[in-house]
Amino acid sequence: MIPAAFDYYRPKDLPGVVALLQEHGDDARVMAGGHSLIPMMKLRMADVPHLIDMQDVDGMNGIYVGDTGVRIGAMTTQAELIDSAELADAAPILREAALQIADPQVRYMGTVGGNVANGDPGNDMPGLMQCFDATFTLFGPDGERTVPAREFYEAAYMTAREDDEVLTAVSFPTPAGGYAYEKQKRKIGDYATAAAAVQIVKDGGSCASASIAMTNLSDTPVFSEAAGAALVGTSVDGDAIRAAVAAMLNDIDPVDDNRGPVAFKNHVAGVILTRAIERAWSRA
């Protein structure tokens, strides 16, 4: 568990980061909290001759809660998310989800930006960001651009981010209604066997809108538009939930691994989503 040799850089600003990325191309990687990247380097599964540590880069921190939306700097740690009272108020699901990521030691280091940029289907934040319909801000040689979270993920570890771009922030409209982040895992510090992010808006006795995203059940996070649609206009009764689950199962594509065979994962995905919907609805 010893990484190969690498050069270490610690630039102070974003242009400095981008310059290094341009200079070294494929051979360079940015590091945020390092809690996904360093294990891969130690296993020699990631070859990173040039490692660019972003801890000193200005302007990538901070949580801004506005009237209509939230913006979180990429270098914000999971622990900071959990500790922010403002955020707990504006988007309580974020805290509920962050508390289910790894353990406190990992959360003190792991960042929001690293979690969403990584492209690991096991990460919890990407699905949540899709549930929010968040936007990712990328900074590259040509300046800033934004990409919707729902269009960002292409395959495992493959995203819309170019090699010479840095993800600087995530932004999303203040979520409305009831929420739930439900996650089944084998033990503390484990990635999800199945996880569901649900936001539901209630109008009278019926569902006005619903947003549903699933984690670690495909090679990317899965925003299931059809599952949400199955709830809209209903009283979120058993039939509606079953319809939402059926729609979700159409959208996911789990694989057999140490967490269990495909049939189990499909079953658990349904159970987890059912529980998330029920809990979100009860809070709506």
Ligand X SMILES: Cc1cc2nc3c(=O)[nH]c(=O)nc-3n(C[C@H](O)[C@H](O)[C@H](O)COP(=O)(O)OP(=O)(O)OC[C@H]3O[C@@H](n4cnc5c(N)ncnc54)[C@H](O)[C@@H]3O)c2cc1C
Interface ranges with another protein (CB under 8 A): 1-2, 4-5, 44, 103, 184, 186-191, 193, 258-261, 263-264, 267-268, 271-272
Q: Which of 124, 182, 219, 251 binds ligand X (CB under 6 A)?
A: 124
Instruction: Count other C-beta atoms under 10 Å from residue 39's C-beta.
Output: 13
When CB distances are held under 5 to 8 angstroms depending on the partner's kind, the choice from another protein, ligand X, none that residue 12 binds is none
Per the structure block, which two tokens stand in for 97? 């989800």
Partner from ligand X, another protein, none binding residue 114, C-beta < 5-8 Å depending on class: ligand X
Sign of CA dihedral 99, 102, 103, 107: negative
Q: Of the candidates 114, 178, 228, 270, which one interacts with ligand X according to CB under 6 A?
A: 114
* 271, interface contact from ligand X, another protein, none, CB < 5-8 Å by kind: another protein
Residue 106 engages ligand X in binding (rule: CB under 6 A): yes
- Alpha-carbon distance of 1 to 94, in angstroms, equals 33
Of residues 35-64, which lie at the interface with ligand X (CB under 6 A)? 35-37, 39
Q: Is 118 in the site for ligand X (CB under 6 A)?
A: yes
Residue 177, by phi and psi: left (phi above 0), alpha (psi -120 to 50) or beta? left
Residue 102 or 200 with smaller CB distance to ligand X: 102
Report yes or no: 4 and 13 within 8 Å, Cβ to Cβ: no
The alpha carbon of 60 is separated from its chain's Cα centroid by a whole number of angstroms, namely: 17
Query: Does residue 101 belong to the site contacting ligand X (CB under 6 A)?
Result: yes
Binding site partner of 29, from ligand X, another protein, none, Cβ cut-off 5-8 A by kind: ligand X
Q: How far apart are the first and last CA of the chain?
A: 47
* Whole-angstrom distance, CA of residue 28 vs CA of residue 52: 7
Which residue is at the shortest CB distance from ligand X? 114
Q: Does 93 bind ligand X (CB under 6 A)?
A: no
Q: Candidates 114-122, 201-209, 234-242, 258-266 — which segment interacts with ligand X by CB under 6 A?
A: 114-122
Cβ closest to another protein, residue 43 vs residue 155? 43
Query: How far apart are CB 46 and another protein at their closest, in Å?
Result: 14
The DSSP symbol for 6 reads -
112 Cβ contact list (under 8 Å, min separation 6)? 72, 73, 74, 76, 77, 78, 81, 125, 170
74 near ligand X (CB under 6 A) = yes
